Chain A
Amino acid sequence: MAWQKVCPLEEIPLLGARVVEHRGERIAVFRAEGDTVFALRDACPHLGGPLSQGIVSGSGENARVTCPLHGWNIGLASGEACAPDEGCARHYPTRLASGEVWLEL
């Protein structure tokens, strides 16, 4: 596990995401309300939809992304699907320092 620099914050659209590829793994890095940054494996627990392409809403603990394929809502802080759906996308720690987004991989 090591912290890796990803990109400057402004490279991620607000309420949007960018895809990061590391050792063949695709990771969605989200910029939610208030410039909080979250990272999840870019695959919905339902049928593997690319979460990075979903609509981001909510804030803080309630920030979530709606999967573009079938509309599951996934909590960004935990990776857990919102009830009544069940499932979890792998979650990665993030941090923001001097305007740069970092990811622990």
Chain B
Amino acid sequence: MRKQRLVMVGNGMAGMKTIEEILKHAPDVFDITVFGAEPHGNYNRILLSPVLAGEMTLADIMLNDLDWYSANGITLHAGRKVVEVDRVRRVVRSEDGTEEGYDRLLLATGSNPFIPPVPGRELEGVIAYRDIADTETMIEAACNYRHAVVIGGGLLGLEAANGLILRGMEVTVVHLGEWIMERQLDRPAAEMLQASLEAKGMRFRLGAQTEALLPAADDPAGRVAAVRLAGGETIAADLVVMSAGIRPNTALAESARLHCDRGIVVTDTMQTVTDPRIYAVGECVSHRGVAYGLVAPLFDQARVCANHLAGFGIGRYEGSVTSTKLKVTGVDVFSAGDFMGAEDCDNIVLHDRAGGRYKKLVLKDDRLIGAVMVGDTSDGSWYFQLVREGRNIAAMRDQLMFGQSFAQSQLGDAGHQGQNQAALLPDSAEVCGCNGVCKGTIVKAIKEKGLFSLDEVRKHTKASSSCGSCTGLVEQILASTVGGAYQAVDKHAKPVCGCTDHTHAEVRAAIREHKLLSIPAVMKALDWKTPNGCATCRPALNYYLVSTWPHEAEDDPQSRFINERAHANIQKDGTYSVVPRMWGGLTTPAELRAIADAAEKYQVPTVKVTGGQRIDLLGVKKDDLPAIWADLGKAGMVSGHAYGKSLRTVKTCVGAEHCRFGTQHSMRTGVNLEKMLFGMWSPHKVKLAVSGCPRNCAESGIKDVGVIGVDSGFEIYVAGNGGIKTEVAQFLCKVATEEDVKEMTGAFLQLYREEGFYLERTCHYVERVGLDYVKRLVVEDADSRRELHERLLYALKDAPDPWAEQQVQPLARHYKTIQIHDLSGESSHGMAESVSA
């Protein structure tokens, strides 16, 4: 089959992001040709300001150098401007006469700076601030001249002014509005920002209209020498930077008679409304009446466009909420969403003029809709995420102002030392305690490799890729390094992995609605992009299948992590740990004897008591697993599931059976709960505890389900966590009898099993859906509770002991190492003996 021809006009960030995504998902579909007006490869335009400020070099900000294009088989016409699109012949032609035919055309022509029509704008030394050439002009001017005027006090203008000051120029910002950055900041924030910029030497003329740019009196056609404002004031200027906004570059599209209205008008699939063969992305586009000028929404568009061009046809672009961060070192400003707020909104404001801190949160109907911050912006990405998710914040409204670590301690991602202010950390600070990654390493990788998303940072640096407790901190570092280019993604709206565009929720729904019973069936029904998934999606799919259709769906051992496949816990040296179940933490002399015998017989190097009141045999060779299980099985012990996303342990105190304070029989209740839940697979591990009195010796307050006996019955707590981030369990209800405890616990865990996403602990599940929702279905609605509990009991009916199951052939054989011995005198074609049992 002939490859289709894809031609892209424009070589900027949005367009190249689209190409990169296409190469990732459908590398063989297109022959790709790119026209770029600039003579460079693709570079990170957002980082021009740090280049101007002398904090980075041009080489640092290249995203795709010229070699990259040839390595990926892309024809690049750099420095050639396309002047005509012939939609009938489907050909584009450039200024120098180069023609390329296309099957699909992608317009990514970006935007042009708006140059106000003032006299003198054609003088030498008057420039816009858009590209590498402008940046180089400014750097050069700073070497030879003294006075600069920046017209336009928006984001880009202020960054330009800052860069020029750092390069030694005297800079005045002339701004038409009453305050600077009025599209991103309210007045108090802008005034505070202005004060800190003035402290750096920047001068301002606000509410000022530029009347003319004047040359030197003795050289009327030469270089600019001054700026005259309405009212007569003149300001010396050897360099004038026009930064009065941008306009979508639609000239080419208009000449091809594509519908434009303040941008090339596109649909939700990024196709032009006029010609579906022609796509457009980036600053040149008008989508639902909005033209975006920040990089994050443009990347969203690029992903949708690539998805559609690659033939998947699933993604839709539905617009973006944007956030802004000013890249001026030492001055932190952040704004997102609707920061002005209408009359029906409430504002929460902190305004410390002398301390240089301002923070305004705009709320509407218990949702955060906008935020502005000056001074300390460390919580910016968190607020932005709240704005995007539209989450109800009623429960933390009181603490919202004080930031993430105060308001949402249960999120568990403030870093392993509880740090939450990434910007204040030194480069040497260890951010990821699991993988030993310092802040400096992360920042360096972000800059050098052009990383924009948390996933990319994880892949390249490993930071936050293990326990995940520093995720929030890594996100902050990313946000403060790339500025406005960073857009936090809603993790629940993300596809399961690169093999699919579907989210966990969508996959689950499809399995239920279409009664899909095997992984191949799911992948076929949902158009998986890979032949057999990957190590991320397969375990998730397997769990969704067996939890949705117990006794019917196919359980695929090869789609389970090794621990669940080998029914033991893999250790760093490749040996395994074996934990027999001890119901409720109780054991007998006979069991202990059997454990001791097994430990000696299989030369177990370490025997340890676990946090969940069990005995762990560490360092067992895989070859010995079936035999040690058989020995333990003879003494009546079964698998403790200490390795799975499953019921782990029910920890108990001695309770009313022995304790002089005990009010309830916690050992009996714990044993019965554990027997009821034996063999339960779940989205993540599940730990329970039962205490016999409020002294709570079993630590019920930090368990997925914690039961505390009181004189009149049992209190049930859910969604606690003792691990990565200690999380106090929340009170669910109080019940009278042990039977009630079992039903309530079963119903709660079944709800979690049915609705939790794979690898989501109960604390994160309850945080996502809300405790009120859980209470409604589990506590208040008796029918719902009974049905949930019955579904759990049905799923767990006849739950087998995995250790016993593994004893049969050929499964047991798979644990054995195959020995190959060289036979002396054997001929070279190698008839060696193979032993496979």
Interface status of B530 (Cβ within 8 A of chain A):
yes
Given A6-B820, A11-B836; A68-B532 close (CB under 8 Å): no
A55 with B819: CB separation less than 8 A: no
A1-24 residues with Cβ-Cβ distance < 8 A to B are 2-8, 10-11, 13-16, 18-23
Interface status of A33 (Cβ within 8 A of chain B):
yes
B562 with A58: CB separation less than 8 A: no
Interface status of B99 (Cβ within 8 A of chain A):
no
Instruction: Select B830's contact among A2, A53, A70, beta carbons within 8 Å.
Output: A2
0/1 string, B72-93, CB within 8 A of A gives 1: 0000000000000000000000
Given A18-B818, A22-B820, A69-B572; A59-B562 close (CB under 8 Å): no
A23 proximity list for chain B (CB < 8 A)? 822
Q: Considering residues B465, B822, B826, which has the most beta carbons from chain A within 10 angstroms of its beta carbon?
A: B822
A4 with B561: CB separation less than 8 A: no
Given A11-B810, A15-B532, A18-B814; A53-B834 close (CB under 8 Å): no
Residue of B nearest to A60 (CB): B531
Residue of A nearest to B822 (CB): A23
A66 with B820: CB separation less than 8 A: no
Given A5-B831, A5-B834, A26-B817; A50-B574 close (CB under 8 Å): yes
Measured CB to CB, the closest approach of chain B to A57, in angstroms, equals 5
A68 with B818: CB separation less than 8 A: no
B557 with A68: CB separation less than 8 A: no
Instruction: Select A58's contact among B531, B572, B810, B818, beta carbons within 8 Å.
Output: B531
A73-B828 Cα distance, complex, nearest whole Å:
34
A7 with B818: CB separation less than 8 A: yes
B532 proximity list for chain A (CB < 8 A)? 15, 33, 57-59
A11-B832 Cα distance, complex, nearest whole Å:
17
A44-B834 Cα distance, complex, nearest whole Å:
25
A71 with B535: CB separation less than 8 A: yes
A57 with B530: CB separation less than 8 A: yes
Instruction: Select B558's contact among A7, A10, A15, A69, beta carbons within 8 Å.
Output: A15
A70-B826 Cα distance, complex, nearest whole Å:
41
B814 with A13: CB separation less than 8 A: yes
Q: Considering residues B817, B831, B834, which has the most beta carbons from chain A within 10 angstroms of its beta carbon?
A: B834
B459 proximity list for chain A (CB < 8 A)? 84
B818 with A3: CB separation less than 8 A: no
Count the A-B residue pairs with Cβ separation under 8 angstroms: how many?
Answer: 113
Given A5-B831, A7-B836, A57-B530; A66-B535 close (CB under 8 Å): yes
B574 with A11: CB separation less than 8 A: no
Interface status of B257 (Cβ within 8 A of chain A):
no
Instruction: Select A21's contact among B449, B562, B819, beta carbons within 8 Å.
Output: B819
A18 proximity list for chain B (CB < 8 A)? 814, 817-818
Chain B contact residues, majority secondary structure: loop
Instruction: Select B465's contact among A20, A26, A71, A105, beta carbons within 8 Å.
Output: A71
Measured CB to CB, the closest approach of chain B to A7, in angstroms, equals 4
Residue of B nearest to A69 (CB): B572
Given A5-B834, A49-B574, A54-B535; A20-B818 close (CB under 8 Å): yes
A10-B656 Cα distance, complex, nearest whole Å:
55
A14-B819 Cα distance, complex, nearest whole Å:
20
A103 proximity list for chain B (CB < 8 A)? 820
A84-B820 Cα distance, complex, nearest whole Å:
35
Measured CB to CB, the closest approach of chain A to B268, in angstroms, equals 32
A22-B530 Cα distance, complex, nearest whole Å:
34
Interface status of A89 (Cβ within 8 A of chain B):
no
0/1 string, B803-837, CB within 8 A of A gives 1: 00000001001100111101000101111101010
B834 proximity list for chain A (CB < 8 A)? 4-7
A11 proximity list for chain B (CB < 8 A)? 810, 813-814, 818, 836
Interface status of B472 (Cβ within 8 A of chain A):
no
Q: Considering residues B572, B820, B832, which has the most beta carbons from chain A within 10 angstroms of its beta carbon?
A: B820
A47 with B572: CB separation less than 8 A: yes
B535 with A57: CB separation less than 8 A: yes
A19 proximity list for chain B (CB < 8 A)? 622, 817-818
A68 with B460: CB separation less than 8 A: no
A55 proximity list for chain B (CB < 8 A)? 534-535, 538-539, 558-559, 561-562
A68 with B570: CB separation less than 8 A: yes
A91-B487 Cα distance, complex, nearest whole Å:
41
A56-92 residues with Cβ-Cβ distance < 8 A to B are 56-59, 66, 68-71, 73, 84
B562 with A54: CB separation less than 8 A: yes
B829 proximity list for chain A (CB < 8 A)? 2-3
Interface status of B41 (Cβ within 8 A of chain A):
no
Measured CB to CB, the closest approach of chain A to B545, in angstroms, equals 16
Q: Considering residues B530, B818, B829, which has the most beta carbons from chain A within 10 angstroms of its beta carbon?
A: B818
A33 proximity list for chain B (CB < 8 A)? 531-532
A22 proximity list for chain B (CB < 8 A)? 819-820, 822
A53 with B566: CB separation less than 8 A: yes
B531 with A4: CB separation less than 8 A: no
A4 with B820: CB separation less than 8 A: yes
Interface status of B533 (Cβ within 8 A of chain A):
yes
B460 with A84: CB separation less than 8 A: yes
B814 with A5: CB separation less than 8 A: no
A84-B450 Cα distance, complex, nearest whole Å:
13
A18-B534 Cα distance, complex, nearest whole Å:
19
Given A16-B558, A47-B572; A4-B832 close (CB under 8 Å): yes
> A residues engaging B (CB < 8 A)?
2-8, 10-11, 13-16, 18-23, 26, 29, 33, 47, 49-50, 53-59, 66, 68-71, 73, 84, 102-103, 105
Subset of 10 A-B contacts with CB under 8 Å: A11-B810, A11-B818, A16-B557, A19-B818, A22-B822, A26-B817, A53-B562, A54-B535, A57-B530, A84-B459
> B residues engaging A (CB < 8 A)?
449, 459-460, 462, 465-466, 530-535, 538-539, 557-559, 561-562, 566, 570, 572, 574, 622, 810, 813-814, 817-820, 822, 826, 828-832, 834, 836
Q: Name the 8 nearest CB pairs between A and B, nearest first.
A: A66-B535, A50-B574, A55-B535, A2-B830, A3-B830, A15-B558, A7-B836, A53-B562
